[in-house]
Amino acid sequence: MLHITALYASILALILLWLAYNVVVFRRTDGVDLGDGGSQTGIRHIRAQANATEYVPITLILFAIYEINGGSIYLLHAFGALLVFARIVHPLGLANKKGKSFGRFYGTLITWLIMIALALLNIYHFASNLL
């Protein structure tokens, strides 16, 4: 059973819906039918949503594999909570401020570190079962 993955996948799905909603609000407010309409705000909202859709699925796959293979529930919850934090602060930093921002930097960094950690843990689990 993937109870922990289900919890964090559900929370992250709500975050993705929030990001999609921000794009819809931008397009309706600015009368943009498709794309960003040349608006810097629109570009940032669209990229915030796209960034999440690029990183969240593979991270959840790694998360699920780690859980299926009997990974630490404490580590899963730590990674899950950190990923939720990262996926909230990243779009706030990206959509609300041009250039560098706390949210954009740390949201990316935390997401990447979690991906690296889960990938390495899954590779270690595979390799340890070869012996």
34-78 per-position pLDDT tens digit? 888 888 889 999 999 999 999 999 999 999 999 999 999 999 999
- Residue 65's SS3 state is helix
Contact 91, 48 (CB under 8 A): yes
Of all residues in the chain, the percent with pLDDT exceeding 90 is 82
103-113: average pLDDT: 96
> What average pLDDT does this structure show over 78-89?
98
By C-alpha distance, which of 34, 27, 21, 15 is closest to 85?
A: 15
CATH 1.20.120.550 fits 3-130, yes or no: yes
Residue among 130, 120, 17 nearest 62 (CA): 120
* 35 token code pair: 């794309």
| Residue 13: predicted pLDDT | 98
Q: Cα 131–119–9 angle (5° rounding)?
A: 125
Q: What per-residue confidence (pLDDT) applies to 118?
A: 98
Q: Where are the domains of the chain?
A: 3-130
List Cα–Cα distances, 5 to 11, 15, 55, 80, 94, in angstroms: 10, 15, 15, 8, 26
* pLDDT at residue 6 is higher than 80: yes
CB-facing half-sphere around the CA of 54: CA atoms within 13 A: 11
Residue tagged 């270690």 (tokens): 124
pLDDT at residue 101, as a whole number: 87
pLDDT reading at 131 higher than 80: no
Of 13 and 36, more confident: 13
